[in-house]
Structure 1
Amino acid sequence: MHYKLNFLCVKFSSSKHYKQNLEPLLLEEIFEKVRHMITTEKDLNMLRKSKLIGYFILKKKLFIMTKILNQHFASLEEKTFLLVCFFIDRFRKKNTIGITKSVYLTYKYAKIEISLDKWHLLVKRKIPILFSSFNFSVYSHLNEYNFIYFLDTLPFKFKHVVFFCTEIQQKLKKIYTRNNLVHKYHLKKHFNQSQMSSITSVLEKDIILIQGPPGTGKTRTISGIISLVINQMNFIFYEKKLHMNNFFQIPLKQKNKVIISAIANTATDENVFRSFMGFCFHRINIIFNLYKIIRVGPNYHFLVDHVSFDNLVFVYASEYDSCIKFWKNKEVIKKSQKKLFKKGLLFYTTVACINHSFFKKKYFFEILVLDEAAQAIEINNLMCVKNISKKLVMVGDVQQLPAFVFSKHSAFFGYDVSLFKRLQLQKYAICFLEIQYRMHPQISSFPARKFYKNGIKDSVLSDSENLYFLRCFSPFNFFDVSDSLENAHLKNEFSWCNLDEIRVINLFIQLLKYTHQKFNAQSFGIISGYEGQVDEIQNYFCNEKISKEKKTNTIDSFQGKEKDFIIFSCVRSRFKSGIGFLSDCRRINVAFTRAKKYFWCIGNSTSLSKNPTWKEILSDSKRRLKFFLIRKPFERSSRRLLFWSTKDEEIYSFDGKREKDVNYSLLNYLSFFFGKKYVI
Structure 2
Amino acid sequence: MAALCAFQISPVNLSGIRRGSSVVCARRARGGTRGRSGKREGLYQRIGEYAEHFLKLCKLEFEAEQRATWELRERTSSEKLCRDGEMVPSMRAVECGEFFSETIVLFSLNGKEKIPGSLRFSQGDLLDFSRAGEEAYGTLLERTSRTLKVVVESLNVEVSGDGWRVDRGSNAINYERLCAALEGIIASGQSSSPDEVINLISGTFNKDLVSATRKLLRSGSIANGDRRTIGDGRLEEQAKQPPVSSTKLLKQRAAEVSAKLSSLTQSQRNAIRSALSRRVTLIQGPPGTGKTMTACALIRGYVQIRKTPVLATAASNTATDNLLEGLEGLKVVRIGRAACVRESLRWLTLEARIAKSRSVAGLRAKLRNAERGNNSRSVRQLRAILFQEEKQAAKKILSGSDVIVSTCGSCGSELLDGLRIPTVVIDEATQAAEPTTLLPVLRGCEQLVLIGDHHQLPPTVISDETTAQGLDVSLFSRLWGMGIEPHLLNTQYRMHPFLIKLPSEMFYDGKLLSGVTAEQRPAPKGIQWHSRAGALMFVETESLEQAEGTSFANSREAAVVAKLVKELLNAGELSAEQIGVITPYSGQVRAICESLEGYGIDAGKMDVSSVDGFQGREKEFIILSAVRCNKERRLGFTNDWRRLNVALTRARRGLVVVGSEDTLSADKTWARWLRSVHDHECWVSEKTIL
TM over 0.5, yes or no?
yes
Q: CA 1:423/1:157 → structure 2, altered by over 3 Å: closer, same or farther? A: same
Q: CA deviation at 1:465?
A: 2.8
Matches within 5 A, 1:322-341: 325=366, 328=383, 329-341=386-398
Q: Secondary structure at the match of 2:425?
A: strand
1:187 paired with 2:271, answer no
Structure 2: distance between partners of 1:198 and 1:477: 35
Contact 1:316 1:340 in 2 (8 A): no
Q: CA 1:202/1:522 → structure 2, altered by over 3 Å: closer, same or farther? A: same
2:349 is matched with 308
1:440 paired with 2:440, answer no
2:515 is matched with 459
Q: CA RMSD in A?
A: 3.6
Q: CA 1:11/1:205 → structure 2, altered by over 3 Å: closer, same or farther? A: farther
2:333 is matched with 293
Higher mean C-alpha deviation, range 26-35 or range 130-139: 130-139
Q: CA 1:577/1:187 → structure 2, altered by over 3 Å: closer, same or farther? A: same
Higher mean C-alpha deviation, range 421-430 or range 214-223: 421-430
Matches within 5 A, 1:628-643: 628-630=684-686, 634=687, 637-638=688-689
Q: Secondary structure at the match of 1:354?
A: helix
Structure 1 residue runs of 5 or longer lacking an equivalent are 1-5, 51-65, 78-101, 110-129, 234-254, 277-284, 640-680
Q: Secondary structure at the match of 2:511?
A: coil
1:221 paired with 2:300, answer no
1:390 is matched with 446
Q: CA deviation at 1:512?
A: 2.9
Contact 1:480 1:605 in 2 (8 A): yes
1:540 paired with 2:595, answer yes
1:486 paired with 2:545, answer yes
2:96 is matched with none
2:211 is matched with none
1:357 paired with 2:418, answer no
Matches within 5 A, 1:382-531: 382-461=438-517, 464-467=521-524, 471-472=529-530, 474-482=534-542, 484-489=543-548, 493-514=549-570, 516-531=571-586
Structure 2: distance between partners of 1:511 and 1:131: 35
Contact 2:138 2:153 in 1 (8 A): yes
Contact 2:611 2:646 in 1 (8 A): yes
1:35 is matched with 67
Q: CA deviation at 1:376?
A: 1.1
Q: CA 1:330/1:360 → structure 2, altered by over 3 Å: closer, same or farther? A: closer
Contact 2:423 2:448 in 1 (8 A): yes
**AA aligned opposite 1:186:** K
Q: Secondary structure at the match of 1:187?
A: coil
Structure 1: distance between partners of 2:56 and 2:633: 33
Q: CA deviation at 1:369?
A: 1.1
Matches within 5 A, 1:373-384: 373-384=429-440
Partner deviation per Cα, 1:310-348 (whole Å, 9 max, x = no partner): 121111245897886377532322222222222222211
1:59 is matched with none
Q: Secondary structure at the match of 2:470?
A: coil
**AA aligned opposite 1:511:** E
**AA aligned opposite 1:157:** E
Contact 1:488 1:495 in 2 (8 A): yes
Partner deviation per Cα, 1:198-228 (whole Å, 9 max, x = no partner): 1112321121111111100011001101211
Structure 1: distance between partners of 2:251 and 2:482: 33
1:209 paired with 2:282, answer yes
Q: Secondary structure at the match of 1:105?
A: coil
Contact 1:498 1:533 in 2 (8 A): yes
Q: Secondary structure at the match of 1:203?
A: helix
1:619 is matched with 675
1:107 is matched with 157
Contact 1:140 1:352 in 2 (8 A): no
2:632 is matched with 576
Contact 1:609 1:618 in 2 (8 A): yes
Q: CA 1:471/1:29 → structure 2, altered by over 3 Å: closer, same or farther? A: closer
Number of residue pairs aligned between Structure 1 and Structure 2: 530
Matched residues, percent identical? 25
Structure 1: distance between partners of 2:671 and 2:446: 47
Q: Secondary structure at the match of 1:415?
A: coil
Structure 1: distance between partners of 2:476 and 2:59: 22
Residue of structure 2 aligned with 1:158, choices 197, 208, 227: 197
Structure 2: distance between partners of 1:37 and 1:513: 37
Structure 1: distance between partners of 2:77 and 2:138: 18
Matches within 5 A, 1:527-676: 527-542=582-597, 547-576=603-632, 578-630=634-686, 634=687, 637-638=688-689
**AA aligned opposite 1:268:** T
Matches within 5 A, 1:223-302: 223-233=296-306, 255-276=307-328, 285=329, 287=330, 292-298=332-338, 299-302=340-343
Q: CA deviation at 1:296?
A: 3.3
Q: CA deviation at 1:38?
A: 4.4
**AA aligned opposite 1:296:** G
Q: CA deviation at 1:595?
A: 0.6
Contact 1:570 1:603 in 2 (8 A): yes
Structure 2: distance between partners of 1:417 and 1:145: 19
Partner deviation per Cα, 1:527-564 (whole Å, 9 max, x = no partner): 11111111122222237566232311111111111001
1:200 is matched with 273
Q: CA deviation at 1:444?
A: 1.0
**AA aligned opposite 1:36:** A
Contact 1:49 1:68 in 2 (8 A): no
Structure 1: distance between partners of 2:401 and 2:362: 19
**AA aligned opposite 1:142:** C
Q: Secondary structure at the match of 1:572?
A: coil
Q: Secondary structure at the match of 2:415?
A: coil
**AA aligned opposite 1:107:** V
Q: Secondary structure at the match of 1:365?
A: coil
**AA aligned opposite 1:300:** V
**AA aligned opposite 2:345:** V
Structure 2: distance between partners of 1:307 and 1:508: 41
Structure 1: distance between partners of 2:433 and 2:412: 16
Q: CA deviation at 1:420?
A: 0.6
Which structure would you say has the larger RCO, counting Cα contacts within 8 Å and 6 or more residues apart? 2
**AA aligned opposite 2:637:** F
Contact 2:311 2:440 in 1 (8 A): no
Structure 2: distance between partners of 1:442 and 1:197: 27
Higher mean C-alpha deviation, range 552-561 or range 468-477: 468-477
Q: Secondary structure at the match of 1:232?
A: helix
